[in-house]
Amino acid sequence: MGTKTLLVGVAVGLLAAAPAIAQDTIKIGVIQPLTGSVAYNGTSDVNGSKLAVEERNAKGGVLGKKVELVIEDGSCNPAKSVNAAEKLIQRDKVPVLSGAFCSSATAAVMPVAANYKIPLVTGVSSAADLTERGNKWFFRATETDALLAKSFAKILVEQLNLKKVAYIGVNDDWGRGGVEQFEKQMTALGAKTVMKDYFDHGTTDFYTILTKLRSSGADGVFVAAETQDGSILVKQKSEFGLDMKMFGVGSWATADFIKLTGPAGEGIYAAVPYAATMTTPKNQAFVKAYEAKYNEMPGKYAAAGYNAINIIMDAIERAGSTDPAKIRDALAQTDYEGPNGRFRFDEKNQAYGFSVVLVQLQGGKPVVVATTAVAN
């Protein structure tokens, strides 16, 4: 064999080996909204996810390999999220998925994951019916809207002395579900519904809704909204001169929301699965690491990404394999201690054991008013 032939042979051999070297990581697919009106929150989830991987890789990774996140933008859009899942599964060969943030997007991805027999873990999507669909490949590592309503409606009614309540939510599965669950609980406690209205993702003008709110006679308003939409609504409410009590679910306790709303956010109550002011040792370590990396306090979505990816990495380690079916079985055996408590899954793959909190924004910080653990 001549020198030139030998060199060509070596080059071909190296090229053939390149994909194997490039793939010598454990891949986890991530679908989050990185564009659109929920991009603030999706980026926070990805940041928390990256921190989890960075910490695990610093300790040797999983099964002796580095973990690699393969991230796709689903924009909280069902069709785009399905396309993202197809790419991650078929092109990138990921054995497990984290996502897809908005409940409607996650609901669209769930049958795709089941069809390919790939586990899907969400740390965010809280529409109550997702874990009632019998999808054995889907796991929810967060609370449901129904749980938050049951946990905190009584405290809200008693502390805010609410008699007449208005409900405003983003017009998707999560927003409608949040309104439905809180209205159900508040009504049972004697509060009368005087208004109910919905808005689309990306809305920038809430004055029509606020005009209805002003004339509704409400003494309190429940809102289900994420950072961009919610901050605009809150600021326009303040400009409108409406000083009624406000409470809700969504991104109210996040650093982005507090920064964007400024003084207009003062006094808002929020029912959330996580606040940076929680005092557990695990949370104090998480907050310190997150602040050092991103120069801001983590919010519920950063914690959601951090928890979901840690739960997935633990499951892969327990499975001793990247076989999706083995990962699914290992996920069912989860016993993970996160910043906001201990996570395990019930027979419907709904997490329980961790804490949820009611906070009030005071002086630009989410002050914990009440805490409860999610029961099995």
Backbone torsions φ then ψ of 149, nearest 5 degrees: -65, -45
Q: Which two tokens stand for residue 226?
A: 């994420």
| Total domains, the chain | 2
Identify whether residues 102 and 185 lie together within a single domain: no
What does the pLDDT read at residue 124?
97
Identify whether residues 137 and 90 lie together within a single domain: yes
Identify whether residues 194 and 322 lie together within a single domain: no
- Residue 100 belongs to a domain: yes
Identify whether residues 132 and 206 lie together within a single domain: no
pTM here is 0.90
- Half-sphere exposure (CA, 13 Å, Cβ side) for 161? 1
Identify whether residues 103 and 240 lie together within a single domain: no
Q: Would you say 334 and 319 are in contact if contact means Cβ atoms under 8 Å apart? A: no
Q: State the residue range of the domain holding 70.
A: 24-143+279-354
Identify whether residues 273 and 367 lie together within a single domain: yes
What does the pLDDT read at residue 253?
87
What does the pLDDT read at residue 144?
94
Closest CA to 45 of 65, 74, 79: 74
What's the rounded Cα separation, in Å, for the pair 264 and 234? 6
Identify whether residues 162 and 301 lie together within a single domain: no
What does the pLDDT read at residue 23?
57
- Residue 13 belongs to a domain: no
Identify whether residues 178 and 200 lie together within a single domain: yes
Q: Please, which residues bridge with residue 152 across strands? A: none
Identify whether residues 44 and 92 lie together within a single domain: yes
What does the pLDDT read at residue 260?
95
CATH value at residue 270: 3.40.50.2300
What's the rounded Cα separation, in Å, for the pair 8 and 26? 31
What does the pLDDT read at residue 153?
94
What does the pLDDT read at residue 375?
87
Positions in the chain short of pLDDT 50 = 1, 3-22
Cis peptide before 373 (omega within 30 of 0): no
Identify whether residues 236 and 263 lie together within a single domain: yes
Closest CA to 335 of 356, 354, 355: 354
Closest CA to 352 of 337, 361, 342, 362: 342
